[in-house]
């Protein structure tokens, strides 16, 4: 594909760079997950096995704990980050030049921040991450559906808030319109939090401090992922979009 | 004009990528990425395309730590 936009850059270039930045973000998130998260997973599994009830991780497990905590964790986090990087690059392609006079880096930062809030933070505060041993296997499908519903709702409401802000901008000015749109988003998210059913399947006697630590670790992973992505993609996108001062030098074939 | 952007700190307004150029990529890559997210986050959990538990077990720690509901 060689189709280029009027801006001179094809979405393909930005998508490849988005997935590359996602790869980098995945590596950073994996390091945080391995260093901060794995000890919490292990502690929760120890409690689960001491209780000796429900889902068994130990015996006849198809994947050993050592593999789950290293290669398995790495696969999951890196693929997740690459996929989110591709999606974020698509959003960036749409946002570029459409959300005001922001350069590539600022646009990348705004898009990344917006996605961090809408697809990570908003769903997390309603349906937070849970360690092993928390959660009834019988309700897994319902919990997954509610979690995905919360993400979809958050994305749709954020898009609605964005449109609202654009409509109000001529009357209120950019700053006030953004504040009103942000407040409207917070209000409708608050209403969805109140309306959607809560999930509390923490077994009696499960240490509250462990859940807190696990959720903090999960938040740290997501924060590392999105921050790394935003900075790396901003750098790569700017290099693709802003022509460098030196013109392209002819490639000299070495003989 | 196109060459005046060398030393300015205020970048000139960037021309948006036209929607017709973006749409095929958005559909193709969007679906691909969502399928990837499905396999990372939900396969052999809430629903399953493949039988067994290997995918679930392999991605077990990642699912918990990334915040996906898991068993």
pLDDT digits (tens, 9 = 90+) for A212-232: 999 999 999 999 999 999 999
Q: Which residues contact A34 (CB under 8 A, 6 or more apart)?
A: A69, A70, A73
| A99 and A184 share one domain | no
Report pLDDT for A101.
86
Among A26, A63, A25, A68, which residue's Cα sits nearest to residue A44?
A68
Contact A104, A249 (CB under 8 A): no
The whole domain housing A213 covers 11-133+204-241
| A59 and A49 share one domain | yes
pTM of the predicted model as reported, rounded to 2 decimal places: 0.88
The whole domain housing B43 covers 39-71
- A residues 50..89 contacting B (CB < 8 A): 55, 57, 61-63, 67-69, 71-73, 75-77, 79-80, 82-84, 86-87, 89
| A99 and A115 share one domain | yes
| A94 and A180 share one domain | no
pLDDT, one tens digit per residue, over A88-129 is: 999 999 999 998 889 999 999 999 999 999 999 999 999 999
Residue A6 has pLDDT above 90, yes or no: no
- Note whether residue A252 is domain-resident: no
Range from A61-70, A116-125, A146-155, A218-227 carrying the lowest mean pLDDT: A61-70
The token duo for A4 is 């280029």
State the DSSP H helix or E strand holding residue B16, giving kind and residue range, or none if neither. none
pLDDT, one tens digit per residue, over B34-52 is: 999 999 998 888 788 888 8
What is the count of structural domains for chain B?
1
- Note whether residue B52 is domain-resident: yes
- Note whether residue B4 is domain-resident: no
What is the count of structural domains for chain A?
2
| A174 and A217 share one domain | no
Residue A41 has pLDDT above 90, yes or no: yes
First vs last C-alpha separation in chain B: 59
| A129 and A142 share one domain | no
User: Rounded to whole angstroms, how far apart are CA atoms B56 and B71?
Assistant: 10
| A155 and A176 share one domain | yes
User: Rounded to whole angstroms, how far apart are CA atoms B32 and A249?
Assistant: 36
Q: Which residues contact A124 (CB under 8 A, 6 or more apart)?
A: A218, A219, A222, B67
Determine whether the interchain pair A7/B14 forms a contact, defined as Cβ–Cβ distance below 8 Å: yes
**What is the ipTM for the molecules in this complex?**
0.87
User: Rounded to whole angstroms, how far apart are CA atoms A31 and A224?
Assistant: 9
| A232 and A116 share one domain | yes
Among A240, A230, A243, A242, which residue's Cα sits nearest to residue A106?
A230
For tokens 């670790």, name the residue.
A217
């Amino acid at each position: 594909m060689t189709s280029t936009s009027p801006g001179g850059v094809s979405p393909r270039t930005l998508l490849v760079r988005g997935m590359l930045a996602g790869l980098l973000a995945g590596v950073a998130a994996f390091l945080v997950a391995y260093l901060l998260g794995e000890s919490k997973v292990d502690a929760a599994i120890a409690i689960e096995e001491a209780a000796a009830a429900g889902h068994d991780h130990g015996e006849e497990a198809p994947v050993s704990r050592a593999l789950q905590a290293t290669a398995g964790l790495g696969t999951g986090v890196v693929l997740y980050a690459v996929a989110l990087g591709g999606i974020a690059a698509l959003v960036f392609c749409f946002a570029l030049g459409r959300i005001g006079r922001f350069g590539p880096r600022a646009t990348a930062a705004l898009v990344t921040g917006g996605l961090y809030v809408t697809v990570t933070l908003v769903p997390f505060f309603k349906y937070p991450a849970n360690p092993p041993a928390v959660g009834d296997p019988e309700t897994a499908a319902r919990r997954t559906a509610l979690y995905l519903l919360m993400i979809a709702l958050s994305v749709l409401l954020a898009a609605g808030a964005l449109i609202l802000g654009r409509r109000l901008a001529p009357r209120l000015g950019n700053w006030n319109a953004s504040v009103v749109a942000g407040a409207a988003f917070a209000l409708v998210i608050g209403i969805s939090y109140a309306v959607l059913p809560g999930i509390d399947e923490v077994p009696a006697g499960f240490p509250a401090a462990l859940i807190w630590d696990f959720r903090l670790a999960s938040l740290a992973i997501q924060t590392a992922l999105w921050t790394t992505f935003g900075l790396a993609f901003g750098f790569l996108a700017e290099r693709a979009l802003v022509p460098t001062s030196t013109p392209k030098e002819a490639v000299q074939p070495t003989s | 004009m196109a060459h005046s952007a060398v030393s300015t700190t205020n970048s000139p307004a960037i021309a948006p990528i036209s929607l017709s150029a973006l749409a095929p990529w958005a559909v193709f890559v969007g679906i691909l990425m969502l399928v990837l997210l499905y396999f990372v986050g939900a396969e052999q959990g809430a629903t399953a395309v493949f039988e067994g538990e290997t995918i679930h077990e392999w991605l077990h720690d990642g699912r918990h730590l990334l915040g996906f509901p898991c068993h």
